[in-house]
Amino acid sequence: MNTDQIIVKLTEILVEYGPKLIGAIVVLIVGTWVIKLLVKGFTRLMEKSNVDNTIRPFFRTLVHALLRVLLVLSVLGMLGIEMTSFIAILGAVGLAIGMALSGTLQNFAGGVIILIFKPYKVGDVIEAQGYKGVVTAIQIFNTILRTPNNRTVIIPNGQMSTSSMVNNTMEEDMCVEWIFSISYGDSYPKAKEVIKHLLENDSRIQKDKDIFIALLAMADSSINIVARAWVHNSDYWGVFFSMNELVYEAFPKEGLTIPFPQMDVHVHKP
């Protein structure tokens, strides 16, 4: 092949592929600029929507990566490169990775759901997966609790997002419930009066809501009395424990006995 033939061949290639190449370059440059604008707009949207700071970088990176992939595929398609096989390979690789990391992806998806919908937040007292404690951190894969005895519990977010959970501090006010017992023969009205007096004298008890006291059950060895009062959620445990102590000290002074399980044995002589 002589020089003239080479020049002719190159000219044919340039005529055939030149416009496609120029168009692909233009699309690549304009597409890159548009992607930057879209990512900035998406970032501002997350800020206005109060999306948790923990997941903002991830979503921003994910959107940027997806738009980049779409742009590259579009450019390659404009150049006439067959993309069907390439897309099939990407799909197979993605499926294999997804199956291998199914548990991790479940925890990741659970973390995203928790951070977006916020069924609980850092500082809340929750009960989940058999544990009760204060939420100290919500990570993308795990939720970390601190229990009352200062243990750290790490719970995968996949379980937290798909199972039942009690948030004790979602509401501003909480109802504290006690069950106090007196012996058979003791005066129930007297016990009720003592409990009511103690509750009314506690400044943490909300006075705009009624105190509830009732005879709950006549058990095998005791008369059980239920008492309920409303407090601010931050006072819950303080009121609960202090009232137990006050009742324990007040009942004996008022002639009320705190019972314990008993059994009567009758011996019959032949």
Q: Is residue 264 part of a domain?
A: no
Q: Is residue 49 part of a domain?
A: yes
Instruction: Determine how many CB atoms are found less than 10 A away from the CB of residue 145.
Output: 22
Look at residue 253 in the predicted model and tell me its pLDDT.
Answer: 93
Q: Which strand ranges, in their side-by-side order, compose the sheet holding 223-232?
A: 173-182, 223-232, 212-218
The per-residue b/e assignment along 83-113, b for 16 or more CB within 10 angstroms, e otherwise, is: eeeeeeeeeeeeeeeeeeeeeeebbbebbbb
Nearest in space to 42 (alpha carbons), one of 61, 23, 15, 24: 61
Look at residue 256 in the predicted model and tell me its pLDDT.
Answer: 93
* Least confident piece of the model among 16-25, 89-98, 190-199, 235-244: 89-98
Residues 146 and 202 in one domain: no
Q: What percent of the chain has pLDDT over 90?
A: 31
Instruction: Determine how many CB atoms are found less than 10 A away from the CB of residue 194.
Output: 20
Q: Is residue 269 part of a domain?
A: no
Q: Is residue 111 part of a domain?
A: no
Residues 31 and 61 in one domain: yes
The residue out of 130, 151, 167 marking a domain boundary is: 167
CATH at 217: 3.30.70.100
Residues 184 and 162 in one domain: no
Residues 16 and 82 in one domain: yes
Where residue 14 falls among pLDDT bands split at 50, 70, 90? low
The residue out of 45, 73, 100 marking a domain boundary is: 100
Q: What percent of the chain has pLDDT over 70?
A: 81
Q: Is the pLDDT of residue 102 over 80?
A: no
Say what the alpha-carbon torsion angle 34, 36, 38, 39 is, to the nearest 10 degrees.
160
Q: Which residue has the higher pLDDT, 175 or 267?
A: 175
CATH at 135: 2.30.30.60
Q: Is residue 69 part of a domain?
A: yes
- What whole-number distance in Å separates Cα of residue 183 and Cα of residue 262? 11
Q: Give the domain extent around 222.
A: 173-253
- What whole-number distance in Å separates Cα of residue 73 and Cα of residue 78? 9
Residues 160 and 123 in one domain: yes
Residues 84 and 154 in one domain: no
Q: Is residue 27 part of a domain?
A: yes
Residues 76 and 154 in one domain: no
Residues 193 and 144 in one domain: no
Q: Is residue 147 part of a domain?
A: yes
Residues 69 and 143 in one domain: no
- What whole-number distance in Å separates Cα of residue 59 and Cα of residue 44? 12
**Could you give phi then psi for residue 211, rounded to 5 degrees?**
-85, 130
Look at residue 190 in the predicted model and tell me its pLDDT.
Answer: 96
pLDDT single digits (tens) 215-263: 999 998 899 999 999 999 888 889 999 999 999 999 999 999 988 776 6
This prediction has a pTM of: 0.55
The residue out of 167, 184, 203 marking a domain boundary is: 167
pLDDT single digits (tens) 119-158: 888 888 899 999 988 899 888 888 999 998 889 999 999 8
Residues 8 and 96 in one domain: yes
**Domain count along the chain:** 3
Residues 72 and 32 in one domain: yes
CATH at 86: 1.10.287.1260
Tokens linked to 208: 């705009």
Q: Is residue 31 part of a domain?
A: yes
